[in-house]
Structure 1
């Protein structure tokens, strides 16, 4: 796993990753951006809002962007392990099948069984464990089975791949006032923020948002 620090993230690095993502054999999609008036989003303030439709992305989420760059930077046919409750695992499994790599996804036992079945359909092993045991199982796979751990959000290659979304936003809106990014582990937020700020949009405000509630 590549160590992530502010000093290692440069615009050249992000542009290189963007090219990897754009030309990836995984078929990453430059998803459309649509004006909010084409949706049912209720707004009281007059403003120019665009929505990036990553739900139309390959494997159903933005995760394939980071995965495309991760796999491009690693030897083909490797033996990889990760931990995921679903979306990253789907992209990881999809890439593993394409590149002929062996893979294993360690999933929390609370994740829907349908996600495990889908991941397994790509030929990737799934091990379901209590959430508190996820990292212990990953470490066991690395130490005992010589697998390489691909982190689902805290990885420089992954973050650089996710930055491709920010680059695509700037192609449509070169100097946005505000960018709002969903945030779980923070990999997408880090990549998009880096892409926008390093591209010279100093005045753009960037917000990470996540759901609340139990």
Structure 2
């Protein structure tokens, strides 16, 4: 999959959780994008890259083996057993583990376009054959995308041509195009970001802030 979270997904999830309209933000979009893949998972080995205080792993601990991956500059620095966001983690050797499912929320935003391919390869190599990785991250789509955003999208798109993985779900491409049914950050929220980060003001006046979903299965 290489696609974007849609409004029907965010509205449905907001109804189910009783979320207020103010809660429809990028963090929420990333969580629901990954949650769709985690639903019903049992007896699996599941890992999250750099989990935060409120991790989706918390809902998986009881029926799965859960792990935290500390990733810095496209390298896995530490693999730990995840036993809850408020508890200490037991460090283990990453070489001994292959995951059924690996995911991240917002982490791939930290990589430059030239680093994305390497980071995806690192994640692929930590999966069992048939294992799936899901990455949700914010993305900006303007009427005329700049080379920066085109390069980022292409880095994900080209991973399916390099081999070793196959898409899980729909693949948009070859260029990102905004569609009205995409879930996006509200103008009110973008205005607050516009004021807080003058260096990105022009982008936020011209582009929609949406949530990109990448999902791939290891085939070799």
TM-score when scaled to structure 1? 0.38
Higher relative contact order (CA 8 A, sep 6+): 2
Structure with the higher fraction of residues in strand conformation: 2
TM-score when scaled to structure 2? 0.37
Structure with the higher fraction of residues in helix conformation: 1
